[in-house]
Every structure is written in structure tokens, then in C-alpha cells.
């Protein structure tokens, strides 16, 4: 059980990184769109 948790933890970071990356891009994109709408 513990070793399985460690394996899962090792396999997790890349997926988490890509998810966080896409999330950051999404928030950045929405922030830009909101900013441009406010400028108008």
C-alpha cells in the first residue's frame, strides 16, 4: 500500500504540472480578455 502510494506520487507531478500549466494559461487568457474588454 505504502509503496503504491509512493509510485502514484511519483507518477503524479508531470500530470499535475501539465494541469497547472493549462490552468495558468486559461486564467492568463481570461485575464487578458477581461482587460481588453475593460479598456473599451
> Does residue 21 carry a pLDDT above 80?
yes
- Give the residue with greater pLDDT, 3 vs 1: 3
CA distance 20 to 31: 16
User: For the residues 9-29, what does the mean pLDDT come to?
Assistant: 78
How much is the pLDDT for 33?
Answer: 92
User: For the residues 22-35, what does the mean pLDDT come to?
Assistant: 92
How much is the pLDDT for 36?
Answer: 87
CA distance 36 to 18: 27
Amino acid at each position: 500500500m505504502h509503496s503504491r502510494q509512493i509510485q502514484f506520487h511519483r507518477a503524479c507531478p508531470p500530470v499535475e504540472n501539465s494541469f497547472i500549466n493549462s490552468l495558468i494559461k486559461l486564467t492568463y487568457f481570461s485575464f487578458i480578455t477581461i482587460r481588453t474588454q475593460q479598456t473599451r
